[in-house]
Amino acid sequence: MKTTFEILLTSRKVLFNFLEHNSVDKLNTIPEGYSNNLIWNIGHIIVVQQLLIYKLSGLPLMISDRMVAKYKKGTKPEEMVSQEEINEMKSLLFSTVEQTKLDFSNKIFKTYSEFTSMTGYTMTNAKEALEFNNYHEGLHLGIMMQIKKFI
């Protein structure tokens, strides 16, 4: 699990740099040919981690229902994201990882509702979900690198 969390933390540091080094306008820009923007991808990453690991384990999320509704699979940017929400995401990038790490060490993940991703990978427990989450974050990071070229 140590390596899984190190990979996750590395991903989150890269995402944090996107937030630190791009203006609110750039984070909200949807380039031609794309259906989302940098900030949507970051919000989506935070939400999916919570859904894959906590919701499917029957545990409470560390994020609001509003955030889930705004960034879950199948959504797209509908409004400009404010600096206040960007600051919240900066915090959530790391607080969610630290809490998840603590929760794994405290062995709170007892049950899991089996879930098969769009790619066909089936997760049967929270550990598998966390490992799959790293793959998911990598996919979105790649999309973000492409978007960055056009803003």
DSSP classification of residue 82? P
- pLDDT tens digits, one per residue of 65-97: 999 999 999 999 999 999 999 999 999 999 999
Q: SS3 of 24, please? A: helix
Q: Count CB atoms within 10 A of the CB of residue 128.
A: 17
The total of structural domains in the chain comes to 1
Helices in 21-125 by DSSP H: which ranges? 24-28, 38-53, 65-71, 83-105
Kindly state the average pLDDT of the residues 124-150.
97
Is the distance from CB of 16 to CB of 90 less than 8 angstroms?
yes
Q: Domain containing 140 — which CATH number?
A: 1.20.120.450
DSSP classification of residue 115? E
Q: Which domain holds residue 139?
A: 2-149
Share of the chain above pLDDT 70, in %: 100
Can you give the pLDDT at residue 24? 98
